[in-house]
Amino acid sequence: MVWLIAKYAVTAFMVVLISEVAKRSDRLGGLIAALPLVTLLVLIWMKLEGQSEEKITAHAWYTFWYVVPTLPMFILFPFIYPRFGFWLTLLIASAVTVVLFVLWALLLKRFGIVLM
């Protein structure tokens, strides 16, 4: 139980830290947010919890493929936010990401990479 609380605390600390840095500097906040900190934490947690090498490498492998269809959201968001406001932009960007993910998964399936 202590381990689980520690994991929550460290992970929450990272999210709060990034949001606080972003308040002060858009560029530095964006840089820190773009780093794969959560994935690195997950890989560390998995290793410390005794997960197999195969499980850890599979997590890293699939994380890469799942990140790719999310990237257009970061280009789309700044362009539509001024027109539609925050919540609608968030909804549109999320919907576009889901559609791109499905299309990406279908494309990768042709190459033997199964995401869904």
Burial 34-60 (b: 16+ CB within 10 A, else e): eeeeeeeebbebeeeeeeeeeeeeeee
Tokens read off for 60: 């890293």
C-alpha–C-alpha distance, residues 62 and 67, integer Å: 9
Q: pLDDT digit string (tens) for 47-62?
A: 999 999 999 999 999 9
Per-residue model confidence as pLDDT tens digits over 74-95: 999 999 999 999 999 999 999 9
* CB neighbours of residue 14 within 10 Å: 17
Give the pLDDT band (50/70/90) at residue 44: very high
Task: Provide mean pLDDT across the span 85-106.
Answer: 96
pTM: 0.75
